[in-house]
Homo-oligomer: A and B are copies of this chain.
Amino acid sequence: MTEPLTIGMLGYRFMGRAHSNAIARLPMFFPDAPAVERHTLIGRDEEALAEAADQFGFNNTATDWEDVVGEVDVFYNLGPNHLHAEPSIAALEAGTAVLCEKPLAPTLDEADRMRDAAAQATVPAGCAFNYRFLPAIQYAKGLIADGELGEIRHVRGRYLQDWLVDSEAPWAWRMDADLAGSGALGDLGAHTVDLVRFLVGDRTGGIDRVSGHLETFVEERPVYDDVGEIEEYRPVTVDDAYTAQAEFANGAVGSFEASRMATGHKNDHTIEIHGSEGSLKFALERLNELEVLTGDSRGYETVLVTEETDPYVDHWWPPGHTIGWEHSFVHENFEFLSAVAEGTEFSPSFAEAYEVQEVLDGIEQADEHGEWVSVDNGQE
């Protein structure tokens, strides 16, 4: 019997929990997944770390990623963006497979170095764009790949949240350019650009050029002390929202947007695509559904993507018994760990994530210069 793959995981908050849960669920629902050992959880606060390790099922903890990345089979990099490059590169150089959270890096330069490290590695280096792995998105991808939408003409993607609507909402690392790279653009827009590449990259030839607009509505935010008093205000050095226009190689027209201040929208990632033969709409808050219009249909069909013939669904429950947000991570981890175990490629790779980053960088540059910027989309 094969030894279980040992996993080292940097980060034990939101994403640490999401991936640990996904890993823990594989044996019951994806019995073909490789066996794994949740080996070492990495973080700085020893007490919180110990508690998390216990809850997430890790056998060890470590406060220095350098001690871990070479000692495990797989390294999950779930730290803040500014910690994506160095540990991931070190792991790859040590022959350790890497799954890194998105966006790949806070700067295009770091993303470039990560891509290079991945290119020289013999193990998978994946970027965790989890929404690709939703049944509804996979189903949409299949429809588009089969030509059901015809020639793609319109692509619309927006990702709306509202957790920063209150101008006294606390400052966090995600609002600092040095730590996060960008704001809504990198955090939310990265998902949009990846999904767009995944869904229509092949059929459009990818994005050729972009126009961009980044906006920071609230310029500084409070840091609170333990008793809830404001200690200080720190500057917000990233965007609260962005919009972008895009032109694809085939002439298709794109329109992207994200915000952390879209009052009333919690996690509203909506993708809409119109082709010469059909259209579709996906909205993350109703992730079991896909709106589809093809062929002779007169209007959009609301498809509940929960049939056992739908992607991944046979692993779960009977038709109509919906899944949740977290299931995207289970599918992603199944695919990634299978790729590691079988020595196959995993998509989205660092190379693909780099191309996403190029688009994000293009949008930032376009904003800065007030003009359209060409993107080497790598999909032509």
Taking Cβ atoms with an 8 Å cutoff, the residues of A that contact B are 14, 17-18, 20-21, 24-25, 27-29, 31, 55-57, 149, 153-154, 156, 158, 160-161, 163, 165, 167, 211, 213, 215, 217, 241, 243-245, 247, 251, 253-255, 257, 259, 261-268, 274-279, 284-288, 292-293, 297-304, 306-307, 316-327, 369-372
| Chain B min CB distance to A128 (Å) | 15
Contacts of A293 in B (CB 8 A): 263-264, 301
Contacts of A298 in B (CB 8 A): 292, 301, 303-304, 307
Contacts of A14 in B (CB 8 A): 317-318
CB-nearest residue of chain B relative to A288? B285
| Chain B min CB distance to A261 (Å) | 6
Contacts of A303 in B (CB 8 A): 298-299
Contacts of A264 in B (CB 8 A): 274, 278-279, 293, 297, 299-300
Interface of A, secondary structure class, is mixed
8 pairs across A/B with beta carbons < 8 Å?
A28-B56, A28-B57, A215-B253, A241-B253, A253-B257, A264-B278, A284-B320, A298-B303
CB-nearest residue of chain B relative to A24? B28
Given known A27-B55, A154-B241, A300-B302, contact A266–B324 (CB-CB < 8 A):
no
Contacts of A31 in B (CB 8 A): 55
Contacts of A302 in B (CB 8 A): 299-300, 302
Contacts of A56 in B (CB 8 A): 28
Residue pair A262, B279 in contact (C-beta under 8 Å): yes
Residue pair A285, B28 in contact (C-beta under 8 Å): no
Residue pair B285, A262 in contact (C-beta under 8 Å): no
| Chain B min CB distance to A339 (Å) | 23
**Please, how many angstroms separate the alpha-carbon atoms of A306 and B18 in the complex?**
16
CB-nearest residue of chain B relative to A51? B31
Contacts of A215 in B (CB 8 A): 247, 251, 253
**Please, how many angstroms separate the alpha-carbon atoms of A253 and B301 in the complex?**
26
